[in-house]
């Protein structure tokens, strides 16, 4: 009796559990119906809204309604076809292709979907698959003009693809490029043709055109790490280190453990950091530190000519800025050999020559720079200034008179003046001829000191204008030789004895 009661209890308990499970299943079914299911009216509403939004150009909103229509009725071939139309309008042919395929599976005689899929496959360069779709359309509708035209293009594509690969195999890269031009017109979404043409451009030495083909090719494949790496290396060779860094990062986004991409990333990152740091130092006028940094750049990448040339160009510039003139000429000359048409190098070397008072060579460099860019205002102004300095140097050069460099400070100028003034003071000479010669030299020495210790007059002189030349004075000046304002201390009388102070 006890056993019977226990068994009865178990059965009642099991019955209760089964009842609860059944109820739970019913509830879940109702919830799923609410989420995934949709009435025909609701589906029609989504389709109508999708159509209106598509016509209005609101593609993202239209796509959302077509998603809902597909989820509500996964057996309706039209919903897939219409969603594919939105994907195509958004330029997402890869996403459209599965929807068109599903529509064809649900309705094999759906010719519009077959024609659309054939068109996509043709643009992707899949000639054989595109042919099957166009032939299927023509089998059911022999007069379908678009399918017939596209089938003809498919035949042409297959012949061109075969010719391009044959030309590439025999090393005729120019012919391969010519053939692929038409191939890519027919199949602009074909990554293989673009990659093949990029390879030809690389072999022909045209990295820029190779980049133009590889950039879209990398996006046309789902995982194209090889193309991103090749793009990065091409940009790197051209000296475009930031673009190189961006492309190799795309490779690492696809696979952060890609050894080849990571090794290249470390190299580009290091070089990029050094170059950016060097330019910041130049902006802060920390020129010696910038020189050290660019020397590190050459050690980091000794095998790519661009970076050696760029580093030497910037070192040349920095040496000019710190007025290390002789070293600047040497550095600029090395840079000029590597990059003969670089305006910045020619400009900087010209400025170094000006610092060395070698105005003829300065003029030559500015003239050469002008030949490469006759409209460059900085070059034109630099040439004009160098020519004025050359003309001026053939008359009087106050720096040479005192024997000081162009970057001498006021203390150095005054020191040189005192020494020469003591040496050439007319009272130191006895004969009239010697006195006359000393007077002339002393006037030049005093004039040089007058100009070079006055900031305004020195600035004019450095710009190629002699502020003591009567011809350059407004109003024509008053005569009196080289002494400022026409005054000559030795014209007051034959027995005048000039006295001076050391200030």
Question: Tens of pLDDT along 149-162?
Answer: 999 999 999 999 99
pTM recorded for the entire structure: 0.67
- In this prediction, residue 398 carries a pLDDT of 87
- In this prediction, residue 234 carries a pLDDT of 96
- Most confident listed range (57-61, 78-82, 204-208): 204-208
Looking up tokens 């609860």 gives 20
Q: Give mean pLDDT, residues 321-331.
A: 94
Assign 501 a pLDDT band (cuts: 50, 70, 90): very low
Looking up tokens 């999708």 gives 50
Distance between CA 116 and CA 102 in Å, rounded?
13
- Total residue length of the chain: 503
All domains in the chain, ordered by first residue: 40-160 (1.25.40.10), 285-394 (1.25.40.10), 398-491 (1.10.287.110)
Q: At what angle do helices 111-123 and 77-89 cross, to 10 degrees?
A: 30
Q: Which residue has the higher pLDDT, 466 or 2?
A: 466
Q: Give mean pLDDT, residues 72-77.
A: 87
- In this prediction, residue 37 carries a pLDDT of 56
Neighbours of 497 (CB within 10 A): 7
- In this prediction, residue 437 carries a pLDDT of 87
Looking up tokens 């290249």 gives 264
Least confident residue range of 117-131, 173-187, 276-290, 423-437:
423-437
* End-to-end C-alpha distance for the chain, whole angstroms: 136
The sign of the torsion formed by the CA atoms of 188, 192, 196, 202 equals positive
Provide, rounded to the nearest whole percent, the portion of the chain with pLDDT above 70: 86
- In this prediction, residue 463 carries a pLDDT of 83
Burial group, residue 39, by CB count within 10 angstroms (0-12, 13-18, 19+) = exposed
- In this prediction, residue 394 carries a pLDDT of 79
- In this prediction, residue 471 carries a pLDDT of 64
**79, 73 Cβ separation under 8 angstroms:** yes
- In this prediction, residue 258 carries a pLDDT of 93
Angle, CA of 194, 195 and 199, to the nearest 5°: 115
Q: Give mean pLDDT, residues 95-99.
A: 93
- In this prediction, residue 486 carries a pLDDT of 43
Neighbours of 434 (CB within 10 A): 12
* Nearest Cα residue to 444 out of 490, 398, 393: 398
Distance between CA 432 and CA 476 in Å, rounded?
32
Mean pLDDT of the chain: 86
Please give the biggest Cα pair distance in the chain.
160
**211, 239 Cβ separation under 8 angstroms:** no
- Most confident listed range (30-34, 240-244, 472-476): 240-244
């Amino acid at each position: 009796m006890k056993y019977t009661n226990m068994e009865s209890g178990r059965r009642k308990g099991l019955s209760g559990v089964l009842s609860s499970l059944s109820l739970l299943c019913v509830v879940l079914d109702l919830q799923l119906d609410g989420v995934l299911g949709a009435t025909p009216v609701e589906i029609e509403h989504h389709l109508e809204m999708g159509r209106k939004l598509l016509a209005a150009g609101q593609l993202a909103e239209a796509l959302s309604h077509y998603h809902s229509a597909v989820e509500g009725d996964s057996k309706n071939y039209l919903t897939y076809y219409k969603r594919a139309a939105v994907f195509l309008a958004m330029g997402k042919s890869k996403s459209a292709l599965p929807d068109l395929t599903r529509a064809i599976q649900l309705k094999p005689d759906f010719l519009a979907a077959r024609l659309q899929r054939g068109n996509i496959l043709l643009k992707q360069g899949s000639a054989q698959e595109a042919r099957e779709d166009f032939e299927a359309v023509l089998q059911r509708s022999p007069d379908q003009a678009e399918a017939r035209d596209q089938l003809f293009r498919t035949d042409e594509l297959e012949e061109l693809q075969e010719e391009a690969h044959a030309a590439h195999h025999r090393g005729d890269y120019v012919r391969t490029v010519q053939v692929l031009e038409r191939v890519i017109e027919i199949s602009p979404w074909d990554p293989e043709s673009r990659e093949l043409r990029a390879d030809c451009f690389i072999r022909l030495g045209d990295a820029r055109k190779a980049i133009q083909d590889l950039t879209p090719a990398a996006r046309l494949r789902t995982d194209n790490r090889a193309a991103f790496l090749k793009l990065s290396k091409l940009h790197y060779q051209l000296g475009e280190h930031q673009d190189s860094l961006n492309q190799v990062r795309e490779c690492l986004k696809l696979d952060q453990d890609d050894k080849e991409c990571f090794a290249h990333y470390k190299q580009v990152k290091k070089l990029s950091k050094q170059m950016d740091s060097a330019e910041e130092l130049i902006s802060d006028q920390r020129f010696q530190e910038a020189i050290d940094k660019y020397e590190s750049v050459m050690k980091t990448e000794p095998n790519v000519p661009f970076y050696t040339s760029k580093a030497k160009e910037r070192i040349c510039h920095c040496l000019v800025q710190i007025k290390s003139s002789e070293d600047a000429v040497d550095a600029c000359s090395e840079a000029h050999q590597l990059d003969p048409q670089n305006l910045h190098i020619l400009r900087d070397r010209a400025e170094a020559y000006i610092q060395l008072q070698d105005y003829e060579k300065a003029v030559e460099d500015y003239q050469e720079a002008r030949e490469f860019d006759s409209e460059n205002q900085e070059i034109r102004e630099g040439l004009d200034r160098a020519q004025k300095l050359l003309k001026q140097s053939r008359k009087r050069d106050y720096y040479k008179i005192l024997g000081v460099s162009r970057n001498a400070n006021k203390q150095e100028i005054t020191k040189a003046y005192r020494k020469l003034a003591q040496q050439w003071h007319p009272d130191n000479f006895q004969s009239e001829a010697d006195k006359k010669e000393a007077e002339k030299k002393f006037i030049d020495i005093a004039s040089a000191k007058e100009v070079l210790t006055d900031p305004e007059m020195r600035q004019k002189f450095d710009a190629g204008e002699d502020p003591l030349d009567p011809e350059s004075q407004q109003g024509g000046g008053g005569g009196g030789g080289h002494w400022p304002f026409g005054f000559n201390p030795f014209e007051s009388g034959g027995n005048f004895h000039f006295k001076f102070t050391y200030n």
